[in-house]
Amino acid sequence: NVFGFKALRALRLEDLRIPPAYVKTFQGPPHGIQVERDKLNKYGRGLLGCTIKPKLGLSAKNYGRAVYECLRGGLDFTKDDENVNSQPFMRWRDRFLFVAEATYKAQSETGEIKGHYLNATAATCEEMLKRAQCAKELGVPQDKGALL
């Protein structure tokens, strides 16, 4: 939100320090674009996706409708904005359920594999695991985070 945050007039990164232990042990991402292509069964072209907007203010039902329209309209995947978490007007469990319904409906109607990257982050590890378990119960492949 650096470029869209009006209250922030100037920003400059002056220093970045990455701990040596992290640099030595980080092996890079667990997989690359080929795994994404395999999951979506899309080859020979770019993958088409978008972040659902507006990021805040939609009900879970309307959010799911936006996901459906994007996927039905030809996108390969959609994703939650990083700010989409669990607000009073759209609780995470409701969002997961409506997005799952929308994704499976778009797949059924198009005959193509479709995906949605769910934001399952939370304040505690326990809550994140609870959300991941819910996603798993909805059929989300666990090897790629939270793609439905």
Domains parsed from the chain with CATH numbers? 30-144 (3.20.20.110)
Task: For the chain, give the mean pLDDT.
Answer: 87
Summarize pLDDT for 94-119 with one digit per residue, the tens: 999 999 999 999 999 999 999 999 99
Q: pTM (2 decimals)?
A: 0.77
Helix (H, G, I), strand (E, B) or coil at 43: coil
| Between 70 and 117, the higher pLDDT residue | 70
C-alpha count within 13 angstroms, C-beta hemisphere, residue 61: 0
For residue 42, count CB atoms less than 10 angstroms from its CB and return exposed for 0-12, middle for 13-18, buried for 19 or more: middle
- Per residue in 80-97, pLDDT (tens digit) is 988 888 888 888 999 999
Residue 92: alpha-carbon gap to chain centroid: 12
pLDDT, tens digit, for every residue of 120-133? 888 899 999 999 89
Helix extents (H) in 31-142: 33-40, 60-72, 92-110, 125-137
Burial class (CB within 10 angstroms; exposed 0-12, middle 13-18, buried 19+) of 92: buried
